[in-house]
């Protein structure tokens, strides 16, 4: 699958990244090639299932090792995130990687809504974002040098600004102990079960 993607994107054995005629690619392009190979005729159903299981197990190993393979030159179209119901599962990433992905998604949504110049009347909610297991993203509030982590700063700011864009942010955690005070105090409504 990797050889196929390299060939499709213009690479040869002598190519280097950025060479003329080559295109960058990421995990989504690799997965397309992997799926295409699985669907090619000639494999028995048993062999096809074994290949699929083996491929997915290797990909899971890469994710677990937190290699940068989850990054891609293709992104989720922002319009798709804003329509229907979407679940983004970040469970296989490390805490740092979760913060990077969640930051980029939330910043993209915020920027898109601002560019659209969307204004709403107070209390008019057009989009609801639920951040489940929030402690996994918000508990590491300080890095090894004692600086506040960027995600926590951005999330605190978003809690204040997203409401004006018609976005309801729901922060879900098993304990407020793992949330920064600004996040816990900034919530308009709190439910304790």
pLDDT digits (tens, 9 = 90+) for 105-124: 777 787 788 777 656 666 67
pLDDT in tens, 119-169: 666 667 788 888 888 877 776 556 667 776 667 777 777 777 787 788 888
CA atoms within 13 A on the CB side of 101: 22
Q: How far apart, in whole angstroms, are the C-alpha atoms of residue 19 and residue 14?
A: 10
Q: How far apart, in whole angstroms, are the C-alpha atoms of residue 86 and residue 29?
A: 21
Does residue 69 or residue 108 have the better pLDDT? 108
Q: What is the mean pLDDT of residues 19-25?
A: 84
Q: What is the mean pLDDT of residues 53-65?
A: 70
Per this entry, what is the length of the chain?
193
Q: How would residue 72 be classed by pLDDT, with cut points 50, 70 and 90?
A: low
pTM: 0.55
> Residue 189: helix, strand or coil by DSSP?
coil
Q: How many CB atoms lie within 10 A of CB 111?
A: 11
Q: Is the pLDDT of residue 20 over 80?
A: yes
Q: Bridge partners of 174?
A: none
* Gyration radius (Cα) of the chain, Å: 21
Cβ contact 84:76 at 8 Å: no
Q: How would residue 37 be classed by pLDDT, with cut points 50, 70 and 90?
A: confident
Q: How far apart, in whole angstroms, are the C-alpha atoms of residue 43 and residue 146?
A: 55
Q: How far apart, in whole angstroms, are the C-alpha atoms of residue 126 and residue 104?
A: 21
Q: Is the pLDDT of residue 23 over 80?
A: yes
Q: What is the mean pLDDT of residues 51-70?
A: 66
pLDDT in tens, 76-104: 677 777 887 888 877 767 777 777 777 77
Cα–Cα distances (Å) from 134 to 21, 65, 86, 122, 187, in that order, read 43, 22, 17, 26, 13
Q: How would residue 69 be classed by pLDDT, with cut points 50, 70 and 90?
A: very low
Q: How far apart, in whole angstroms, are the C-alpha atoms of residue 122 and residue 48?
A: 54
Q: Is the pLDDT of residue 179 over 80?
A: no
Torsion of CA 189, 172, 140, 146, to 10 degrees: -10
Q: What is the mean pLDDT of residues 57-77?
A: 61
> Residue 142: helix, strand or coil by DSSP?
strand
Token digits of residue 58: 């290797």
- pLDDT of 63: 60
């Amino acid at each position: 699958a990797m050889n196929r993607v390299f060939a499709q994107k213009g690479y040869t054995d002598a190519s280097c990244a950025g060479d003329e005629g080559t295109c960058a690619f990421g995990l989504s392009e690799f997965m397309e090639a992997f799926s295409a190979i699985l669907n090619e005729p000639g494999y028995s159903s048993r062999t096809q299932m074994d290949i699929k299981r083996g491929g997915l197990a290797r990909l899971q190993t890469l994710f677990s090792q937190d290699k940068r393979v989850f990054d891609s030159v293709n992104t989720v179209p922002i319009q798709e995130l804003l329509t229907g119901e979407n679940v983004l599962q970040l469970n296989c990433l490390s805490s740092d990687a979760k913060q990077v992905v969640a930051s980029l998604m939330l910043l993209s949504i915020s920027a898109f809504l601002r560019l659209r110049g969307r204004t709403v009347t107070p209390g008019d909610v057009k989009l609801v974002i639920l951040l489940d297991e929030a402690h996994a993203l918000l508990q590491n509030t300080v890095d090894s040098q004692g600086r506040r982590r960027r995600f926590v700063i951005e999330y605190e700011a978003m809690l204040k600004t997203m409401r004006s864009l018609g976005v309801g942010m729901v922060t879900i955690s098993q304990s407020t102990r793992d949330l920064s005070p600004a996040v816990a105090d900034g919530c308009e409504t709190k439910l304790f079960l």
